[in-house]
Structure 1
Amino acid sequence: MSFSRRLRFSVSLSIPNFSSFLQNSSHSHFHSQPPSIQNVDDAVSQFNRMLCMRHTPPIIQFNKILDSFAKIKHYSTAVSLSHRLELKGIQPDFFTLNILINCFCHMGQITFGFSLLAKILKRGYHPDTITFTTLIKGLCLKGQVKKALHFHDKLLAQGFQLDQVSYGTLINGVCKIGDTRGAIKLLRKIDGRLTKPNVEMYSTIIDALCKYQLVSEAYGLFSEMTVKGISADVVTYSTLIYGFCIEGKLKEAIGLLNEMVLKTINPNVYTYNILVDALCKEGKVKEAKSVLAVMLKACVKPDVITYSTLMDGYFLVYEVKKAQHVFNAMSLMGVTPDVHTYTILINGFCKNKMVDEALNLFKEMHQKNMVPGIVTYSSLIDGLCKSGRIPYVWDLIDEMRDRGQPADVITYSSLIDGLCKNGHLDRAIALFNKMKDQEIRPNIFTFTILLDGLCKGGRLKDAQEVFQDLLTKGYHLNVYTYNVMINGHCKQGLLEEALTMLSKMEDNGCIPNAFTFETIIIALFKKDENDKAEKLLRQMIARGLFNEFDSELLRGVRLHFDRFVSDLKSRDLEKAQLGLGHSYSRAKVKFNVNRADNIVIQAIFLLDTLDKDINSFSMRVRWFVLDKLLKIINDNYLYAKVAKFIEDKSKLSEDKIAAVTDIVRDEDKAKEIVEAAKASMGQYLSPVDLINVQQFAQRVMDLSKYRRKLYDYLVAKMNDIALNLASLIGEVVGARLISHAGSLTNLAKCPSSTLQILGTEKALFRALKTRGHTPKYGLIFHSSFIGRASAKNKGPIARYLANKCSIASLIDCFSGLFLTF
């Protein structure tokens, strides 16, 4: 029985619940903060001394102590002390009653809370929003959300007003019972009429929507709050990132992380933990490690959950040594491993058949006075069972019972699996019956394990009885249960019964997988029932069911293809093979990852060519127009536009200053152009010459416009295929690097030292030949980081930048994620 899924679930539960950010309803009502209680007994003694004073202190002093007890969740103590006040004849005031309402609500005694509300009204006090919010929170904590909504409606009908904390509490309660529609409806109801929604209300609903995998609706609500001018905080972003991670949309999640950084919202350790957990579950441990590096760079200290999650990720990809390295690094980083950390290690060792190491860790937990959880025990029991060490398991079962942690269905399922695999079928059946006697209901996985053991142990009749019992009790059987029974019938040679079970399986709404078909097909081939096997094989191929076994199966089909297809000629088979080869080649070209690189390479080449042509053409235009215009206008496009407008410089007068101003967007420059025309000593141009100049200027303008469009296209393509590289060094320089390397893959393979001098091959060989100084930088010199540096710092900055570019190109090529460097 596999526990990796359960274990990862327990780790993900360690990531905090983001809806628990609502303010505490027991606000302080005093001018000074209540004293922080260091020792409960001392605080009770102080309270008793105050009661025994000749001049009894004012009630506000008692309220401070009661409120302090409430804040440290000693609610029963606060209630007990309040009774002493009344016995002493000291009447509680409004704030005392509010504190007691808060205590009763947290103790689940809502009736007493409402009786205190009646007492407030009877004494002539006016209950405030804190009183009502506390009662609403108490009803929600008790699970009586409908009563809380009814109480809210009654308050509004009587003219009372509630604030943002009250509605935040009520929305949180509605979301806790899974009524996200009701929460959104309540949000719409209060919007602009009762109070203004705030970020806490939106974050609560977004969190609930994400937990129910309604991420698109959650993102819509996130966009709505942005439009309304409500700024999202780190909780909102973290909640939405968690939702995207649940759906496997890691690019969107990392995009939100980058958006946080751009908006100067600092991600906290919980935000990073969510991303690390999601990447590890996808098997992308390298990317998770990159997120950890970004986390450290942002001065966010990883906690025990971060390291535990990373260890779990390494175990998932079978990199045990790296997981151990992370565990050893935790103590060096000042992070103490907890029970979850040890559980992950024990589970990982057991999955990799390193049971002795797992037992040593379990002993280490006892030495450190750590109490193992039920997942810890279940993981170790699973490993011991799979390694055949059944006697050790009974001791662990007894230890669990002594510690008050009785074995659950997963623990028993592991033990039954171990007994079955070691040939102890009678003990497995006895343990199965013991489960039912202890009112531990077996799940479908438990039944499947038992059926598999019975079938493999040659007790097919017992398996059939258990299977029939499952059908009678209405269990929803999955494909694995059917596969076990079909495999058992096939091994006994009962092929007709196996085919009948396949038919019933589909009738019951359970879709067979590749293993189902393969089991029956192999059994049919062994019995020389080739026609039935061929029929099933056709069904299997038609449904697109393939796995690692199918390569061998298809090889056999290809070898005996003429037996399956009637009227097949030898030339037909050759044509089919040739057509398949052509189709495969076209598919490889179509989905070639380098094709996008080729577009970028051609685009940057064309962009450089256009720059040269525009500069060359602009030089020709300057020969024909005003000789002093170059000193006034430097831009090629603007120069050509002015040249086209001027036409004949002798006709340029002051009445055209306004038109020239519209072109150059500067009245002073327009006046300079007009004055330059008057002082120009250039030769006279005929009308035919002027027409050619205008056409030439128009051509320069057209090329300049096309150049801008091509640049925008290049930026878009670079953001698609090399976003990290483009963000780091710029789209144009990045494209030149890709072009010079030949492809993004080639660039990613280049070490940083090669990338640093890429583009200086001639200078490098010349320096090696003449034994001169080698170049320090190549194409990356065009980056602003190097251009702005002083002469002595250009070399070190070039090395540092080349290193970062190498990392960025690797991420772009093999990951596609966008990370902040």
Structure 2
Amino acid sequence: MTMKCNPSSLKPVRKFLHSQVPKPISRHEYRRKTDENSLALYDELFKFNQLITRQPLPAITHFCKVLTSIVNMNYYSLVISLIQRLDTLPLESDIYSTNITINCYCRLNRVDLGLSVFGNALKRGYRPDCVTFNTLINGLCVTGGFNYARQVFDEMLGCGVNPNGVTYGVLINGLCKMGEIDHAVVLLNEITEEFELSGSSSVVMYSTVINALCKNGDVDRALSLFNEMIVKGVTPNVVTYICLMQGLCRFGLREHALRLLDDMLCSNVTLDLQTFNVLLTALCKRGWMVESRNFLDFMVERGLIPDTVTYNTMINGNCLVRRLDDARHLFNVMSCGCDVITFNVLINGYCKENKIHEALRLFNEMCRHNINPNVVTYTTVIRGLCLVSRLNEALVIFYKMQDCGEMANVVTYSILIDCLCKHERVNNALSLFKLMDDAGVAPDVYTFTIVIDGLCKVGNVEAANELFDELCCRELEPNVCTYTAMIGGLCRNKRLSEAEELFVRMKESGCEPNVHTYTIMINGYCRNGKLNEANELFVKMEESGCFADGCVYNTIIQGCLLQNEISTAVWYLDKLSENGFELDSYTEALLLRFQSCGQLDYSVKKAV
């Protein structure tokens, strides 16, 4: 083999790998220098060291066994380095060592180098086997080169190598990952009709396609394929059931999901605790707590002991359906011990229901359980306090978090900055925004948008504009909320031409305005007496597929009335009524004022 690469290797073995004359190293010395997690690796390196010092050198198969063990530990670059070391020795390689090399390159996403090794092997007269082709096909599929994988598959057939279940499974998996699910179904049907594959290969392929269909939202076809595999005598395994069950639960198909669960339990599919927790999670995410509880009781009867993950899942499910008493009861009866996730889930449940006293009590209880709050815990409590406008307490928790050595993340900062802006403490929000940058926490688009909106609402449009430009300089894309906040600030400060420019720029950047953006622009035109522009923008909004809501209608009706455009106001008033929207209090007050002055005709009076 003649391969050129510069793979990284582990520091403890670098000296050994580059030594010209390897010296035997004591196993005890390896063990002394490494921790327990590295013992298996160093045992294999010790064996490798012994092999290369033997005279005469053993056959390549002995080295392949050691290299395979290291590959199974995921040290692919190291294996390539070891094979390069073997290339300097008078040792004849074979197809097995070639397969190991190709596999390592493919695992490192260097399929190009794997193909180069493959070409060299053909030149040397090695006959590639099914493993060789499967490795290359899989590597190409993983890196998105499915068309090239098909070419390698054709080459495989041309070499007279018969594909096996693994080959077809890899091709089907590649098609599914590319989103070519229809082609995957066609290929699956062709394979099952033309070839007799082992049961394990068939069930893997069916499970792969069923999973892809479910993720694509085509649950009906997934169910049909599931029934088809049973008719063809392919017995579903636990993975098949999990894929389909998750799909059914995700789309709320309750009856189908429960029927499938019954079928699975009746078919005596072996469920370990991890698999059980996956299925329980699917049920709990939909809030089907009665069924989740029955499933839990059934599994306990079969001798399965719930663990912390099981209880966390059930507690979270109860919180989702606002059954906090049931969630708290489960927390109290946990026999396996709670963890930080347990506290986070329950604290979050209390905060969402504005039960901040219970959330804080539980937060303080963590110390009694010798569990340290993490960033999620602190952030959840801070959010809960902000939701009930207890900003100062939220800031106390924030500083306590820092004192405890827990680093706040972008979500934590954004929540506090948002709350400060809502309480018109924009200067404090700006200070925290700068502190965030100094702490090495990069603000995201959401954080920028909060500060820009806060500055605009207090009339500091210049500072908001500077932040908007900084956002773009950081290669962050403003979203519809960012543009809307900035446009709103410009309109409120009578800088309509700049707002128009930004509105155009927004559309040119591919960010489509929403109904709130249009409302702000229409309001800006109305306030500046530009009713024609307001009417034109209203028409463009509807033509773009963004339909007006009650707020838009009220805004433009108010503008028309204030500009004494009564007939236009009446037209919009009729539209508002036709679409089932209602007048807001200000529009109604304006209409009543015009009515009292005798400026409205009978039809408008009737509408009012």
Mark yes or no: TM-score above 0.5: yes
Q: Which residue of 2 aligns with 1:750?
A: none
With 231-240 and 358-367 compared, the bigger mean Cα shift is at: 358-367
Note closer, same or farther for the CA distance 1:67–1:379 as it changes in structure 2 (3 Å cut): farther
Cα offsets for 1:517-550 (capped at 9, x unmatched): 2323345566676654443233233233469x69
Q: Which residue of 1 aligns with 2:278?
A: 270
Note closer, same or farther for the CA distance 1:159–1:505 as it changes in structure 2 (3 Å cut): same
Cα distance in 2 between the residues matched to 1:391 and 1:567:
50
Cα distance in 2 between the residues matched to 1:252 and 1:329:
42
Structure 1 unaligned blocks of 5 or more: 1-34, 280-286, 569-821
Query: What is the Cα deviation at residue 477 of structure 1?
Result: 2.2
Query: What is the Cα deviation at residue 80 of structure 1?
Result: 0.7
Note closer, same or farther for the CA distance 1:443–1:53 as it changes in structure 2 (3 Å cut): same
Q: Which residue of 1 aligns with 2:24?
A: none
SS of structure 2 residue aligned to 1:135: helix
Note closer, same or farther for the CA distance 1:174–1:315 as it changes in structure 2 (3 Å cut): farther
**Residue 231 (str. 1) matches residue 235 (str. 2):** yes
Query: What is the Cα deviation at residue 485 of structure 1?
Result: 1.4
**Residue 102 (str. 1) matches residue 116 (str. 2):** no
Pairing partner for 2:446 from 407, 410, 427:
410
Q: Which residue of 1 aligns with 2:336?
A: none
**Residue 521 (str. 1) matches residue 557 (str. 2):** yes
Note closer, same or farther for the CA distance 1:343–1:208 as it changes in structure 2 (3 Å cut): farther
AA in 2 matched with 1:434: E
Pairing partner for 1:198 from 188, 192, 202:
202
Write out aligned runs for 1:604-683 (5 A): none
SS of structure 2 residue aligned to 1:268: helix
Cα distance in 2 between the residues matched to 1:123 and 1:337:
61
Determine if contact 1:295/1:301 at 8 Å carries over to the other structure.
Answer: no
TM-align CA RMSD: 4.3
Q: Which residue of 2 aligns with 1:83?
A: 84
Q: Which residue of 1 aligns with 2:216?
A: 212
Pairing partner for 2:537 from 484, 493, 501:
501
Determine if contact 1:276/1:310 at 8 Å carries over to the other structure.
Answer: no
Query: What is the Cα deviation at residue 422 of structure 1?
Result: 3.7
Q: Which residue of 2 aligns with 1:154?
A: 155
Q: Which residue of 2 aligns with 1:454?
A: 490
Query: What is the Cα deviation at residue 393 of structure 1?
Result: 5.0
Cα distance in 2 between the residues matched to 1:358 and 1:259:
50
Cα distance in 2 between the residues matched to 1:206 and 1:69:
34
Q: Which residue of 2 aligns with 1:176?
A: 177
AA in 2 matched with 1:435: L
Query: What is the Cα deviation at residue 253 of structure 1?
Result: 4.3
Query: What is the Cα deviation at residue 134 of structure 1?
Result: 1.5
Q: Which residue of 2 aligns with 1:9?
A: none
Cα offsets for 1:549-587 (capped at 9, x unmatched): 69x979x99xx9x9765999xxxxxxxxxxxxxxxxxxx
Cα offsets for 1:324-361 (capped at 9, x unmatched): 67878999999987656665555555455455565566
Cα distance in 2 between the residues matched to 1:222 and 1:472:
46
AA in 1 matched with 2:206: Y
Query: What is the Cα deviation at residue 101 of structure 1?
Result: 1.6
Query: What is the Cα deviation at residue 176 of structure 1?
Result: 1.5
Cα distance in 1 between the residues matched to 2:553 and 2:180:
43
SS of structure 1 residue aligned to 2:520: helix
Cα offsets for 1:44-98 (capped at 9, x unmatched): 4553344335565664553343223322322111111122223233444443322
Pairing partner for 1:480 from 507, 516, 522:
516
Cα distance in 1 between the residues matched to 2:293 and 2:402:
31
Q: Which residue of 2 aligns with 1:798?
A: none
Query: What is the Cα deviation at residue 160 of structure 1?
Result: 1.9
AA in 1 matched with 2:106: C
Note closer, same or farther for the CA distance 1:166–1:364 as it changes in structure 2 (3 Å cut): farther
Query: What is the Cα deviation at residue 416 of structure 1?
Result: 1.5
Determine if contact 1:101/1:116 at 8 Å carries over to the other structure.
Answer: yes
**Residue 301 (str. 1) matches residue 301 (str. 2):** no
Cα distance in 2 between the residues matched to 1:328 and 1:165:
54
Query: What is the Cα deviation at residue 447 of structure 1?
Result: 0.6
Query: What is the Cα deviation at residue 319 of structure 1?
Result: 5.0
Determine if contact 1:315/1:323 at 8 Å carries over to the other structure.
Answer: yes
Query: What is the Cα deviation at residue 199 of structure 1?
Result: 2.5
With 342-351 and 442-451 compared, the bigger mean Cα shift is at: 342-351
Note closer, same or farther for the CA distance 1:528–1:118 as it changes in structure 2 (3 Å cut): closer
Identity of matched residues, % = 33
SS of structure 2 residue aligned to 1:427: helix
Note closer, same or farther for the CA distance 1:101–1:367 as it changes in structure 2 (3 Å cut): farther
**Residue 510 (str. 1) matches residue 550 (str. 2):** no
Query: What is the Cα deviation at residue 193 of structure 1?
Result: 1.5
Query: What is the Cα deviation at residue 139 of structure 1?
Result: 0.9
Query: What is the Cα deviation at residue 175 of structure 1?
Result: 1.5
Query: What is the Cα deviation at residue 448 of structure 1?
Result: 0.9
Cα offsets for 1:614-673 (capped at 9, x unmatched): xxxxxxxxxxxxxxxxxxxxxxxxxxxxxxxxxxxxxxxxxxxxxxxxxxxxxxxxxxxx
Cα offsets for 1:700-740 (capped at 9, x unmatched): xxxxxxxxxxxxxxxxxxxxxxxxxxxxxxxxxxxxxxxxx
Cα offsets for 1:458-490 (capped at 9, x unmatched): 443432332233355564322221012123334
Cα offsets for 1:285-336 (capped at 9, x unmatched): xx55974785487444353775566765665555556666787899999998
Cα distance in 2 between the residues matched to 1:239 and 1:337:
34
Pairing partner for 2:477 from 422, 441, 448:
441
Determine if contact 2:449/2:485 at 8 Å carries over to the other structure.
Answer: yes
Which one has a bigger Cα radius of gyration?
1
Note closer, same or farther for the CA distance 1:272–1:478 as it changes in structure 2 (3 Å cut): same
Note closer, same or farther for the CA distance 1:290–1:456 as it changes in structure 2 (3 Å cut): farther
Note closer, same or farther for the CA distance 1:468–1:118 as it changes in structure 2 (3 Å cut): closer
Q: Which residue of 2 aligns with 1:74?
A: 75
Note closer, same or farther for the CA distance 1:393–1:146 as it changes in structure 2 (3 Å cut): farther
Cα distance in 2 between the residues matched to 1:207 and 1:295:
25
Note closer, same or farther for the CA distance 1:527–1:291 as it changes in structure 2 (3 Å cut): farther
Cα distance in 2 between the residues matched to 1:310 and 1:239:
28
Cα distance in 2 between the residues matched to 1:334 and 1:63:
49
Note closer, same or farther for the CA distance 1:341–1:370 as it changes in structure 2 (3 Å cut): same
AA in 1 matched with 2:282: I
AA in 1 matched with 2:545: G
Cα distance in 1 between the residues matched to 2:369 and 2:246:
26
SS of structure 2 residue aligned to 1:505: helix
SS of structure 1 residue aligned to 2:536: helix
Note closer, same or farther for the CA distance 1:290–1:485 as it changes in structure 2 (3 Å cut): farther
Cα distance in 1 between the residues matched to 2:472 and 2:192:
53
Note closer, same or farther for the CA distance 1:294–1:370 as it changes in structure 2 (3 Å cut): farther
Note closer, same or farther for the CA distance 1:478–1:323 as it changes in structure 2 (3 Å cut): same
Cα offsets for 1:13-32 (capped at 9, x unmatched): xxxxxxxxxxxxxxxxxxxx
Q: Which residue of 1 aligns with 2:33?
A: none
Cα distance in 2 between the residues matched to 1:231 and 1:414:
54
SS of structure 1 residue aligned to 2:234: coil
Query: What is the Cα deviation at residue 151 of structure 1?
Result: 1.5
Cα distance in 2 between the residues matched to 1:361 and 1:294:
39
Count of aligned residue pairs for this structure pair: 521
Cα distance in 2 between the residues matched to 1:175 and 1:338:
38
Q: Which residue of 2 aligns with 1:187?
A: 188
Note closer, same or farther for the CA distance 1:86–1:564 as it changes in structure 2 (3 Å cut): farther
Q: Relative contact order: is structure 1 or structure 2 higher (C-alpha 8 Å, sep ≥ 6)?
A: 1
AA in 2 matched with 1:208: A
Determine if contact 1:397/1:407 at 8 Å carries over to the other structure.
Answer: no
Cα offsets for 1:90-117 (capped at 9, x unmatched): 4444433222221110112212212333
Cα distance in 2 between the residues matched to 1:171 and 1:251:
30
Cα distance in 1 between the residues matched to 2:387 and 2:397:
15
Note closer, same or farther for the CA distance 1:236–1:78 as it changes in structure 2 (3 Å cut): same
SS of structure 1 residue aligned to 2:194: coil
